A and B are shown apart, each in its own frame.
Chain A
């Protein structure tokens, strides 16, 4: 399997990995039939993402896409993240082989879920979306 240098770099040196205490939003996504799981934590200041953390179980590309996803999300407005696409995430690792596109799907889904969770908390909706799968 040929992976981009960017992907390899994120896999080797994952950015922003780990748990976040008192996040403003948490989102999770799993991939059916694969078992990959990504969880994203957001810290939001003035509607923009100030800090992101991820925890991921999965193959190399999914771990790399998670790391790249944190960089993609940092500084963005939450409303932007609500519509974050797989394509955005795949582009952040300079592309994925067709057989590994699920990596971008899991990560984009988890980031969108975290953004929705933030919005839900702000609007007073009960509970979190941490367990919701898109």
Chain B
């Protein structure tokens, strides 16, 4: 424990020092515009293309199948609007626990004449591939299901869903922002046609992400302008960001497997420790089909924000499942879709581990969390009555 404990890696991660070092020249002497013909431009172009290669090698796809974007949100928007734009409108299949970048994009398309089916999820947050099959209509143009949910970490059976999509010839988009670089993604084996993936969740810089587009996938562009990214995404490339992203992926390729094993063990130790020390606590998400570092808990009779504040005062950063804006507390829509009862859902807290996490961090949390929950419960009328 170095003074502060960061347990919010699903929100963002610190940029790896080697990534920072790789980026620096592209703010300085290699500042050129990759579209320029001269040597300055060529140097910048080289940086972008090396990064593309690092990423396409990792994904085992060809270089013209990855488009750089400004973030996971843009990747999701491009994938969904890009496919929907080919026919103007149609039927889309998704789930209610997708990231807002997917949900709100689908909602906008609904106002423009598309129909959207939001498949139910079970108590662990899983989509049933049979439900996907049953939801398909003659006018279904896209299936978009996330690989893993950022709040609870449940990993969807994207291979089985992809098989259904492939069998029916429907493009399959996967929001892989939370899994890319954390768990293996077999694009061919899973039958994925479009994959959104992001840099700042895997120790790369913010403001850069990618979209894998399988060769032959029919799409229109969403952002119009120059000829960048094979006319699929106009706008001068974020060269330092892309260079850093490439480096981050190269580093992840080396450590992903060992890190997943380490984080799973740490996370399980945290959960076992908490459940042994605190009463009325439940684990959200699938017990095993879950992101290695993700632990989402509900403390009954406790409002999540009071735990987040209490832990923050102890130097521990976690996130609240329920969001309070202007005095309106909304329980997490993910937990609600999973059928978590309201009196539990209001007390949900997410701890997400990553490269920074150590055994000492877990010891510290196990030391400070139980008395905090006890104190908050001791003033709560719900816990008493």
Binding site for B on A (CB under 8 A): 1, 3, 8, 11-12, 14, 17-19, 31, 33-37, 39, 54-60, 63, 66, 98-102, 105
Contact = CB atoms under 8 A, between A and B. Distances in A.
Interface in B191-221: none
B303 A18 contact: no
Contact of A34 (B301, B327, B376, B382): B327
B305 interface: yes
B346 interface: yes
Q: 6 closest Cβ contacts across the A-B interface?
A: A102-B327, A60-B309, A55-B381, A59-B305, A17-B379, A57-B380
A102 B376 CA distance: 19
A63 B303 CA distance: 10
A14 B306 CA distance: 13
Interface in B127-177: none
Interface centre among B309, B329, B380 (most CB of A within 10 A): B309
B384 A55 contact: yes
B328 A33 contact: yes
B37 interface: no
Nearest to A13: B375
B46 to A, nearest CB: 44
Given A19-B384, A36-B303, A57-B381, 9 more contacts: A11-B310, A17-B378, A33-B328, A55-B379, A58-B306, A59-B305, A99-B324, A100-B324, A102-B327
27 contacts: A1-B309, A3-B309, A8-B313, A12-B310, A31-B327, A33-B328, A33-B329, A34-B328, A34-B329, A36-B329, A54-B379, A55-B379, A56-B379, A56-B381, A57-B380, A57-B381, A58-B306, A59-B303, A59-B329, A60-B305, A60-B309, A63-B306, A63-B376, A63-B379, A66-B379, A99-B326, A102-B326
Contacts of A102: 326-327
Contacts of A11: 306, 309-310, 313
B378 A35 contact: no
Say what secondary structure dominates the interface of chain A.
mixed
Interface string B275-312: 00000000000000000000000000101011001100
Contacts of A31: 327
A33 to B, nearest CB: 5
A125 to B, nearest CB: 24
A14 B303 contact: no
Given A8-B313, A57-B301, A59-B303, A39 B381 contact: yes
A37 B326 CA distance: 16
A62 to B, nearest CB: 8
Contacts of B379: 14, 17-18, 54-56, 63, 66
Contacts, number: 73
B325 interface: yes
Contacts of B384: 19, 55
The residue in B325, B379, B380 that gathers the most chain A C-beta atoms within 10 A of its C-beta is B379
A13 B375 CA distance: 9
A58 B381 contact: no
Contacts of B303: 35-36, 57-59
Interface string B327-359: 111000000000000000010000000000000
Nearest to B375: A14
A56 B346 contact: no
Contact of A99 (B301, B325, B375, B382): B325
Given A99-B324, A101-B327, A35 B381 contact: no
Contacts of B378: 17-18
Contacts of B324: 34, 59, 99-100
Interface in B363-379: 375-376, 378-379
A87 to B, nearest CB: 16
B373 to A, nearest CB: 13
Contacts of A34: 324, 327-329
A34 B305 CA distance: 12
Contacts of A55: 379-381, 384
Contacts of A36: 303, 327, 329
Nearest to B330: A33
Contacts of B309: 1, 3, 11, 59-60
Among B303, B382, B384, which residue has the most Cβ atoms of chain A within 10 A? Answer: B303
